[in-house]
Structure 1
Amino acid sequence: MKAVRIHEFGGLDVLNWEDAPDPEPRPHQVLIKVDAAGVNYADLMRRGGNYPGPDLPSSLGLEAAGTVLEVGSEVTGLSVGQRVMAMGPGGQAEMVAVNGNFVFPYPETLDPVQAGGMPIVFLTAYHLLKTRGHLDPGHTVLIQAGASGVGTVAIQLAKAWGARVVVTASTQEKLDLCRSLGADETINYTQQDFEEVIKEQTGGNGVELILECVGGPVLEKSLRCVASYGRMITYGNASGTPASLPAGEIFAANRTVIGFSIGRSPVGTLDHQAAMDEIFPLMSEGKVRLIVDQVLPMSEVGTAHQHLADRGTRGKVILTP
């Protein structure tokens, strides 16, 4: 088979679409013939040596969708021929073997190509808002980078669950997309100070929940936008810039700061199956959908990485074999 592989860490030049050994599924795994695979910022970090993964050389990708070719002896509830989406390493390839706990049969109404870009953003958005964020109807949530893959899904889920949604983005085009998905308020952070806007909108009280993935000064300012007894969840550091969070700004207002990474959670910590069971009906009802920015062949993976690095994405970038 062919796969997107790296033999060393570095820039775009280390990416290869090349022949690779066919995966041999273990008893707890499912072998999938890949129709499509999503590209995530974690792939860029992995390419640069800043994200965990198997020993080099190794295939890239953390999610995929396709058809089940083989089911391991320890896996139940799945069968050969099923169309599934899955989360696990090596998805940017013609075939991938994935832990059966992270494989989800999806409704026939879903597009097979779009399914390849769904698992990480949908599960991340779900767990940020519900499992870790404890979002309730009537709460206000501030979503940084609202036009990102996770952001576009989080907007829709938050609205489906009765929240008021405020988002930030860098262009009017991105803000218009967020509005079309249900965002109540939008802030262009290149033209407005989002901290000042939030304080003005809330009478200085702040918001109940913030989803933050930029890091650096954005993380620091976001903390000051959290209401008393509210929560901020940090789930990335796209800026690559360190942040300083003064203890007095956390405990004095009874604020909670939570870290989240879906890629580093051990099996059993997060109930992904229950999450998908709740998400799929929302998809079927048209309340939430994947926003696709680009679909590219896997041989053009470098273009995808550059597009994400330039922070020009509106939704998800997907690769096909």
Structure 2
Amino acid sequence: MKAVRINEFGDPSVLKIEEIPDISAKKNQVLVKLVSSGVNFADVLRRQGKYPGPDLPCTLGLEGAGTIVSLGEGVNGFDIGQDVLVLGPQCHAEMVSVNKHFVFPYDASKLSSSIAGGMPLTFLTAYHLLRTRGQMQSGNQILIHSGASGVGTIAIQMAKHWGATVISTASTQEKMELCKTVGADHVINYTAEDFEQTINEMTDNEGVDLVLDAVGGPTLEKSIRCVKSYGKLLSYGNASGESANLPASDFTTLNRTIIGFSMGRSPFGSLDHKSAMQDILKEVYAGSFKLIVDRSLDLEEVGTAHAHLSGRKSKGKVILTV
């Protein structure tokens, strides 16, 4: 079968389409023939050697959609030929074998399989940030950085649907318009204005209830000062690659909370993905949440996908069709 592989770390040129041996479903696993797979910034970081993963050589990809081919020992409740979303490693390939707990049936008549592969990681990340870890409430004010990103566009939709006032940041007019289109009440161009100062002006120096940040570095430093007393800052990435200097007084004085979040490194069973995905799909079918697709590319164009993400050019999700 074909798969996107790296044998060394480096720029997009290290990405190779290789023929590797067919795989089978082991105990408690489901074998899925993939139709599409989302490309995430974590894939870019893994290619660069800046994100944990299996030893080299390895297959990239963290999410996908397809149909069930076979069921391993101990797997019940699924059917051969069933359409499913999957969450797990090695999804940039024609086939993937995934633990049964990370396989989610969906209705392909209501959600196109050609884009569904870009949903699992993005939607579950946004859901758990807001609901599970952030414990957001209707009426909250929420600052969502990188609002035009895959997670950002979904988090804006979710937060707005659940009754929040949403403030987002973006770097270009086009990205700002996208944030507004998906529901942001206010959008700040962080290249043209100081978002910390703007947030304080907008909230009369009180701050917001929640901040979602995957940029890290100086953005994280300024974000904690945008959080109101007893509010929360949720950090779920460090796309900047820079370290943050966080004086204790920036969060202790006003009883602010900093919460770290990683989907891939959460202890097994600590997140209820099944219930979350049921909630998500219900809203997707109803039209409340929509995956924003920047572009769909063939598996062989994975290098183009990585270059696009690395250049911070994407608006929404980049998807590979298998």
How far residue 57 of structure 1 moved from its aligned partner, in angstroms, is 1.3
Please give the residue correspondences for 1:16-95 in structure 2 after superposition, counting only pairs within 5 Å. 16-95=16-95
Aligned to 1:104: 104
Please give the residue correspondences for 1:259-270 in structure 2 after superposition, counting only pairs within 5 Å. 259-270=260-271
For residues 225 and 159 of structure 1, the distance between their equivalents in structure 2, rounded to whole angstroms, comes to 19
Gaps spanning 5+ residues in structure 1: where? Answer: none
Aligned to 1:239: 240
SS at match of 2:301: helix
Aligned to 1:273: 274
SS at match of 2:275: helix
CA RMSD of aligned residues (A): 0.8
For residues 229 and 46 of structure 1, the distance between their equivalents in structure 2, rounded to whole angstroms, comes to 35
How far residue 24 of structure 1 moved from its aligned partner, in angstroms, is 2.2
Listed one character per residue, the Cα deviations across residues 249-294 of structure 1 (whole Å, up to 9, x for unaligned) are 1111100000001011122010000101111111111110100001
SS at match of 1:263: coil
Listed one character per residue, the Cα deviations across residues 74-122 of structure 1 (whole Å, up to 9, x for unaligned) are 1222111000010000000010111110000112300101110000000
How far residue 243 of structure 1 moved from its aligned partner, in angstroms, is 0.6
For residues 49 and 111 of structure 2, the distance between their equivalents in structure 1, rounded to whole angstroms, comes to 34
SS at match of 2:147: coil
Q: Which amino acid aligns with 2:239?
A: A
Q: After the TM superposition, which of the residue ranges 268-277 and 16-25 deviates more from structure 2?
A: 16-25
Please give the residue correspondences for 1:133-212 in structure 2 after superposition, counting only pairs within 5 Å. 133-212=134-213
Aligned to 1:219: 220
For residues 179 and 12 of structure 2, the distance between their equivalents in structure 1, rounded to whole angstroms, comes to 30
Please give the residue correspondences for 1:4-15 in structure 2 after superposition, counting only pairs within 5 Å. 4-15=4-15
Q: Which amino acid aligns with 1:207?
A: V
Aligned to 1:320: 321
SS at match of 1:262: coil
Please state if 1:311 is matched with 2:306. no
Aligned to 2:122: 121
How far residue 53 of structure 1 moved from its aligned partner, in angstroms, is 1.7
For residues 122 and 53 of structure 2, the distance between their equivalents in structure 1, rounded to whole angstroms, comes to 19
Q: Which amino acid aligns with 2:105?
A: P
Q: Which amino acid aligns with 2:134?
A: G
Q: Which amino acid aligns with 1:31?
A: L
Please give the residue correspondences for 1:282-301 in structure 2 after superposition, counting only pairs within 5 Å. 282-301=283-302
Gaps spanning 5+ residues in structure 2: where? Answer: none
Q: Which runs of 4+ in 1 moved over 4 A?
A: none
Listed one character per residue, the Cα deviations across residues 160-212 of structure 1 (whole Å, up to 9, x for unaligned) are 11111000000111111111111100100111111111000100000000000
Q: Name the count of aligned residue pairs.
A: 321
Please state if 1:251 is matched with 2:252. yes
Listed one character per residue, the Cα deviations across residues 216-244 of structure 1 (whole Å, up to 9, x for unaligned) are 11110001000000000000111111111
Identity of aligned residues (%): 57
For residues 297 and 52 of structure 2, the distance between their equivalents in structure 1, rounded to whole angstroms, comes to 25
For residues 78 and 70 of structure 1, the distance between their equivalents in structure 2, rounded to whole angstroms, comes to 9
For residues 293 and 128 of structure 1, the distance between their equivalents in structure 2, rounded to whole angstroms, comes to 23
SS at match of 1:275: helix
Q: TM-score normalized by structure 2?
A: 0.98
Listed one character per residue, the Cα deviations across residues 15-35 of structure 1 (whole Å, up to 9, x for unaligned) are 101101112221111000010
Q: Which amino acid aligns with 2:190?
A: Y
